[in-house]
Amino acid sequence: MMKKISLIHFNHKKYISRSLQFGGIMCFIGYGYYPRMLYLLYLGIILVCVNIIMATYYFWKKTKGLEIKRELARKLDLEYQVIRSGEERNIIGCEIVPGDLVRITTNAIFPADIRVVESEGLNVSHRYLSHAPQNSAVGVDPEVGLKKLIESRNVCLFGGEAKSGEGRGIVFATGNKTVLISQIEAKTLWDPF
The string of pLDDT tens digits covering residues 170-183 is 898 887 777 777 77
What global pTM score does this model have?
A: 0.59
Q: Which of 70, 18, 57 is nearest to 184 (CA)?
A: 70
User: What is the dihedral sign for C-alpha 123, 129, 130, 131?
Assistant: positive
The string of pLDDT tens digits covering residues 83-132 is 888 888 888 877 888 888 998 888 888 888 888 888 888 888 776 665 54
As to burial, measured by CB atoms within 10 angstroms (0-12 exposed, 13-18 middle, 19+ buried), residue 100 is buried
The pLDDT, as a whole number, for residue 189 is 46
